[in-house]
């Protein structure tokens, strides 16, 4: 009888520990289930194809800018104008912004970098193509490889 109660108690404690572990991931682990609610999809940006843009995104995120883009196409023009204030055009360069103006996180306070136009425009076209299938309000987590 005592042996059965011991097994039952062990089973209950084991089940509780498994449930608790799923709610409280181990510090330093790569468990993303807890953070998954902050985005809908992941987009891996190809830094090897667009090195200047990739470096800019990676640096801006490391400096505290959002790695999530909430797509909101309405207002893109206004957010772009807001983000580029104080950054005049430079001959031979594009002004790259992170977060992008098509993201709700873009606009005032965006990180701006002058980069090669072909890199910037190629990256913009690539991202635009990848995100075209997603509706406004979709949250995309960017990872630069």
Q: What is the pLDDT of residues 4-50, one digit of tens each?
A: 665 655 555 444 544 444 444 433 333 333 445 699 999 999 999 99
Instruction: Determine the pLDDT at residue 2.
Output: 61
Neighbours of 116 (CB within 10 A): 16
Q: With contact defined as beta carbons under 8 Å apart, do 47 and 145 qualify? A: yes
Model pLDDT, residue 80: 98
pTM of the model: 0.74
pLDDT in tens, 53-103: 999 999 999 999 999 999 999 999 999 999 999 999 999 999 999 999 999
How many CB atoms are located within 10 Å of the residue 98 CB? 25
- Token pair recorded at residue 20: 């608790």
């Amino acid at each position: 009888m005592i042996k059965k109660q011991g097994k039952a108690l062990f089973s209950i404690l084991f089940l509780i520990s498994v449930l608790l572990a799923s709610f409280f991931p181990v510090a330093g682990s790569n468990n993303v289930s807890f953070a998954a609610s902050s985005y809908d999809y992941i987009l891996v940006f190809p830094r090897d194809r667009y090195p200047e843009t990739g470096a800019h995104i990676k640096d801006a995120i490391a400096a505290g800018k959002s790695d999530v883009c909430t797509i909101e196409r309405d207002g893109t023009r206004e957010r772009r104008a807001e983000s580029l204030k104080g950054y005049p055009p430079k001959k031979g360069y594009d002004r790259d912004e992170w977060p992008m103006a098509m993201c709700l996180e873009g606009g005032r306070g965006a990180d701006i970098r002058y980069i090669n136009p072909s890199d910037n425009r190629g990256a913009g076209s690539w991202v635009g193509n990848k995100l075209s299938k997603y509706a406004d309000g979709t949250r995309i987590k960017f990872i630069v490889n």
